[in-house]
A and B are shown apart, each in its own frame.
Chain A
Amino acid sequence: MLKPENEAALAEMIATGTGPLRIVGGGTRDIGALVQGDVLSMAEVSGITLYEPGALTLVARAGTPVADIEAALASEGQRLAFEPMDHRGLLGTQGTPTIGGIVAANVSGPRRIQVGACRDSLLGVRFVDGIGRVLKNGGRVMKNVTGYDLVKLMAGSWGTLGVLSEVSLKVQAMPETEATLVCEGKTEQDGVAALCAALGTPFDVAGAAHLDAAATGGMSRTQVRLEGLEASVAYRMDRLRQGLLAGFDVVQGAQSALLWDEVRNVTPFADQTGAVWRISSKPTDGPLITAALKASGLAHRAIYDWGGGLVWVLVTQDDTAGAAPIRQQVAKFGGHATLVRASQVQRAQLDVFQKEPTPIAAITTSLRAQFDSHGRLNPGLMGE
């Protein structure tokens, strides 16, 4: 295993080495096509290098544990706005999640619907490309249009364009309070319709999710989160309950936070066996896609986050993880699907990431060739 201690050592290792590399941070997000190669661990390239609470900015080396970052932020009453998921429960992995891993996979949780994804909070990156060049893009300021935005390109590139060495993030103040409006027993269609309606109000919804009955193991649950100053949350809660969300109950404080941890980490599927898909669609299409899957005879359970725009689908019985009907329905409605949890056999045989249309696939392939001309960085992880 290669374990550089700093960026310069990382660059040296890549420049002088040969053969494919399998890049890991904490190794907790084992997702994608299987990669054959020497393991390159970024765990030692660690540490917060700059934190300015008054400017809402934090810069950290890629191997910095997320927990360290969250602790540093919490001591100043701040947090990562995009609420990244911890994949350990769902994937049954061990290890320490790193900030580099989060950025490489563009991991975002329920608050994404309000404040954007990890890539929207990412201000700058430093990385080493496939021939060992140390490169940077973006910076540490909130507004930056100096040259092309490779920051977004690096987010979610799963280490296939470069090995991240340092990331710069915009952070957010923790709200004074949070509360969740909850309703049980709604159908998927009704639940998602309520979420979309709530998101269309001026009441600044900070989370909108629906869990079907099979996912909760009891009644289906529709939940809407509000955050902010106490008086403001109380006001918005009243307005929603007097209108669109009549009949919803109020859950506050720590109980509210628990409800969102469950959605953030897809906890209900952690202990249930089967393949898990992550479908990204237009919010109102979420329940239409699952209804079509049901009609096609594919047994599944579903959790809808982002107002319906992110559907976690657990396929309980199927050697091919329900790939054919899922790919078919997603193609019909638009969006994309990723096979997040699957057996080694399934990952070897199925496309984990969705195949792209020909012209886009051609651009993607050419970009990879520019960043990693020898095809050494996580080769094949995202397909093709």
Chain B
Amino acid sequence: MDMPSPDQTVLAKKAHIVARLRAVLPLDAVIEDEIETRAYECDALTAYRCPPLAAVLPSSTAEVAAVLKICHEENVPVVPRGAGTSLAGGALPTADSVILGVARMNDVLETDYENRLVRVQTGRTNLSVSGAVEENDFFYAPDPSSQLACAIAGNIAMNSGGAHCLKYGVTTNNLLGVTMVMMDGEIVEIGGGHLDAGGLDLLGVICGSEGQLGVVTEATLRILRKPEGARPVLIGFDDNQVAGTCVSDIIKAGILPVAIEFMDRPCIRATEAFAGAGYPDCEALLIIEVEGSEQEIEVQLDRIVAIARRHNPVEIRESGSAEESAKIWLGRKSAFGAMGQINDYMCLDGTIPVSQLPYVLRRISEMSKEYGLDVGNVFHAGDGNMHPLILFDANKPGDLELCEDFGADILRLCVEVGGCLTGEHGVGIEKRDLMLDQYAPEDLEIQMAVKDVFDPKWLLNPAKVFPLAASHARRSVSH
């Protein structure tokens, strides 16, 4: 994975830049020591590492503005960082960049149950947003699997999804407003407690822009009242295609489960060996969860089970208690850990039309043989968001590259059948060079033109999202 070579002018004036940053931040909020900056050398895409020039940990919007103003004046690239859980390398530094971490900004600023919103600083973790409103039985709906650790800042940057977005939508559908600092240090307010945009929907384009348009320091988020209850059912099939058809039939029948999760045989076997959830040894397994009162859950599950029975399932396991529900979820929730026990893995998140599921699974299995690398599939079936986990050995020379090539082929396949490269993780550096497989050059050109408006000098997270060759001219303008 290529990264642009660092700007020597910036490297040469490190002491000057650090001194200026120290002048606007508390002593412990500027990290420049070569050993300490290593803590910021990568995110959850650990295959790629590079310590930044420095890292700063501001505590307020005003401090963020002061930092950005200095970096803007000094032409220093800035890499915003939430909790560093990006699987796509969204927070990977370059050697000439300043990491701007929002971890110290984690206050709840306002809670308004009547209007069902909460305003938080964006360093707050996803799960602790729900935690802040839990005592009143409310919650924040988007639930990426990293929700214990990931920050709202990163959720907004990547427009994060989660297992329950089939019903509740992703981050962009639950974001009402932001306070954002522009690269030149100007603070802007977009949206707020009201529901829709007055002019152009800038909030919509900021969400998912991978930290390239501004640094979001505060966010107004929609909160919802918790459902009275929730319960999953587990259904096993001896054929992927049949499982896919079952998903489609449930959706067509007008039932809207909050989650429909799918695991294939390699994944079932791995999780069974790891977690012992008692899953049937079958080709495909669905976990379908519905919400509501006890009787509403009954009605929905009855219908789902009736549809499933028409497809000759090898097993239907309904939950009779909280313990049984937890056991049904246990395997799914430990799937990534289970695959990690076997070997190193790379997790992709291409999305496909649900109707293409059987074909795509068959092709992945064929490619797996061609590449000689095992792959397990666990994914959000209701919305076609795949998560192929490709196993490789990081210590074996050439294996990572082989795995990346395999991954790229899977993502091209997703695009070919009408889907996209990434459903919830973002492009980052990982899928940057595949963008031309999904978009024509002019489609990327208009996206880059949007960045020109917000960040004319291309200093914010500059080497991400767009193929380096496509963004080269913009990044190389001498300031």
List A residues at the B interface (Cβ < 8 Å).
52-57, 76-77, 106, 108, 112-113, 116-117, 119-120, 129, 133-137, 139-153, 155-157, 161, 173-176, 193, 196-197, 199-202, 229, 231-232, 235, 239, 280-285, 306, 309-310, 334-336, 338, 353-354, 356-357, 359-360, 363-364, 366-367, 370-371, 382-383
B444 near A147: Cβ-Cβ < 8 Å: yes
Contacts of B281-295 to chain A: CB distance below 8 A: 292-293, 295
List B residues at the A interface (Cβ < 8 Å).
112-117, 137-138, 158-159, 161, 165-166, 169-170, 172-173, 182, 186, 188-190, 192-205, 207-209, 225-228, 248-249, 251-256, 292-293, 295-296, 299-300, 351-355, 380, 383-385, 418-427, 431, 435, 438-440, 442-444, 446-447, 449-454, 465
Q: Contacts A52-B355, A117-B196, A360-B199; is A142 near B439 (CB within 8 Å)?
A: no
Can you identify 20 A-B contacts, CB atoms within 8 angstroms?
Answer: A54-B251, A55-B353, A112-B195, A141-B423, A143-B165, A143-B424, A146-B431, A146-B438, A146-B439, A147-B427, A147-B444, A148-B450, A152-B203, A232-B300, A280-B194, A281-B194, A336-B199, A364-B202, A370-B446, A370-B449
Give every chain B residue within 8 A of A174 (Cβ-Cβ).
Answer: 254
Give every chain A residue within 8 A of B207 (Cβ-Cβ).
Answer: 149, 152
User: Which of A136, A145, A157, A200 is the one whose CB lies under 8 Å from B426?
Assistant: A145
User: Which of B137, B248, B426 is the one whose CB lies under 8 Å from A54?
Assistant: B248
Give every chain A residue within 8 A of B195 (Cβ-Cβ).
Answer: 112-113, 117, 280, 306, 309-310
> How near does chain B come to A118, taking the closest CB pair, in angstroms?
9
A54 near B355: Cβ-Cβ < 8 Å: yes
> How near does chain A come to B305, taking the closest CB pair, in angstroms?
15
Give every chain B residue within 8 A of A367 (Cβ-Cβ).
Answer: 200, 450, 453
Bound CA–CA A231/B295 (angstroms): 8
A137 near B355: Cβ-Cβ < 8 Å: no
A106 near B196: Cβ-Cβ < 8 Å: yes
User: Which of A139, A149, A157 is the one whose CB lies under 8 Å from B172?
Assistant: A149
- Beta-carbon nearest neighbor of B442 in chain A: A133
B194 near A149: Cβ-Cβ < 8 Å: no
A53 near B252: Cβ-Cβ < 8 Å: yes
Give every chain B residue within 8 A of A120 (Cβ-Cβ).
Answer: 169, 172-173
Give every chain A residue within 8 A of B197 (Cβ-Cβ).
Answer: 106, 156
- Beta-carbon nearest neighbor of B421 in chain A: A146
A144 near B420: Cβ-Cβ < 8 Å: yes
Bound CA–CA A382/B138 (angstroms): 37
A143 near B252: Cβ-Cβ < 8 Å: no
A155 near B204: Cβ-Cβ < 8 Å: yes
Bound CA–CA A363/B422 (angstroms): 28
Bound CA–CA A336/B203 (angstroms): 15
Give every chain B residue within 8 A of A134 (Cβ-Cβ).
Answer: 442
User: Which of B173, B198, B249, B427 is the one whose CB lies under 8 Å from A116?
Assistant: B173
Bound CA–CA A153/B202 (angstroms): 6
Q: Contacts A143-B161, A147-B427, A152-B205; is A231 near B420 (CB within 8 Å)?
A: no
Q: Contacts A146-B435, A147-B427, A200-B114; is A119 near B204 (CB within 8 Å)?
A: yes
Bound CA–CA A283/B354 (angstroms): 37
- Beta-carbon nearest neighbor of A153 in chain B: B205
Bound CA–CA A223/B170 (angstroms): 29
Interface centre among A146, A193, A197, A201 (most CB of B within 10 A): A146
Give every chain B residue within 8 A of A229 (Cβ-Cβ).
Answer: 296, 299-300
B419 near A139: Cβ-Cβ < 8 Å: yes
A54 near B249: Cβ-Cβ < 8 Å: yes
- Beta-carbon nearest neighbor of A282 in chain B: B193
B425 near A141: Cβ-Cβ < 8 Å: no
Give every chain A residue within 8 A of B299 (Cβ-Cβ).
Answer: 229, 231-232
- Beta-carbon nearest neighbor of B357 in chain A: A55
B293 near A235: Cβ-Cβ < 8 Å: yes
A155 near B354: Cβ-Cβ < 8 Å: no
Give every chain A residue within 8 A of B296 (Cβ-Cβ).
Answer: 229, 231-232, 235
Give every chain B residue within 8 A of A366 (Cβ-Cβ).
Answer: 453
Give every chain A residue within 8 A of B351 (Cβ-Cβ).
Answer: 141-144
Given contacts A173-B254, A196-B115, A356-B199, list 18 more A-B pairs with CB under 8 A: A120-B173, A135-B443, A135-B446, A136-B439, A136-B443, A142-B385, A144-B420, A145-B425, A146-B438, A149-B208, A153-B202, A153-B204, A156-B201, A157-B200, A173-B252, A360-B190, A371-B449, A383-B199
Bound CA–CA A80/B317 (angstroms): 34
- Beta-carbon nearest neighbor of A306 in chain B: B195
> How near does chain A come to B240, taking the closest CB pair, in angstroms?
16
Bound CA–CA A378/B449 (angstroms): 20
> How near does chain A come to B435, taking the closest CB pair, in angstroms?
6
B251 near A143: Cβ-Cβ < 8 Å: no
> How near does chain B come to A369, taking the closest CB pair, in angstroms?
8
A140 near B443: Cβ-Cβ < 8 Å: no
Give every chain A residue within 8 A of B292 (Cβ-Cβ).
Answer: 232
- Beta-carbon nearest neighbor of B354 in chain A: A55
A146 near B453: Cβ-Cβ < 8 Å: no
Give every chain A residue within 8 A of B255 (Cβ-Cβ).
Answer: 173
Give every chain B residue within 8 A of A129 (Cβ-Cβ).
Answer: 446
Interface centre among B116, B251, B440, B446 (most CB of A within 10 A): B446
Bound CA–CA A117/B292 (angstroms): 24
Q: Contacts A117-B195, A144-B423, A202-B228; is A155 near B161 (CB within 8 Å)?
A: no
Bound CA–CA A140/B383 (angstroms): 11
Give every chain B residue within 8 A of A360 (Cβ-Cβ).
Answer: 188, 190, 199, 202
> How near does chain B come to A29, taking the closest CB pair, in angstroms?
16
A148 near B208: Cβ-Cβ < 8 Å: yes
Give every chain A residue within 8 A of B113 (Cβ-Cβ).
Answer: 200
> How near does chain B come to A69, taking the closest CB pair, in angstroms?
18
> How near does chain B come to A222, taking the closest CB pair, in angstroms?
16
User: Which of B225, B383, B454, B465 is the one whose CB lies under 8 Å from A363?
Assistant: B454
Give every chain A residue within 8 A of B443 (Cβ-Cβ).
Answer: 135-137, 147
Interface centre among B113, B192, B196 (most CB of A within 10 A): B196
Q: Contacts A235-B296, A367-B453; is A335 near B199 (CB within 8 Å)?
A: no
Give every chain A residue within 8 A of B451 (Cβ-Cβ).
Answer: 148
Bound CA–CA A138/B285 (angstroms): 30
Give every chain B residue within 8 A of A76 (Cβ-Cβ).
Answer: 252
- Beta-carbon nearest neighbor of A140 in chain B: B418
User: Which of A77, A108, A143, A197 is the one whose CB lies under 8 Å from B423?
Assistant: A143
Bound CA–CA A57/B352 (angstroms): 12
- Beta-carbon nearest neighbor of A133 in chain B: B442
A54 near B252: Cβ-Cβ < 8 Å: yes
- Closest CB pairs A-B (n = 8): A152-B204, A336-B198, A173-B254, A54-B248, A282-B193, A143-B423, A142-B383, A335-B194
Bound CA–CA A284/B190 (angstroms): 20
Bound CA–CA A196/B113 (angstroms): 9
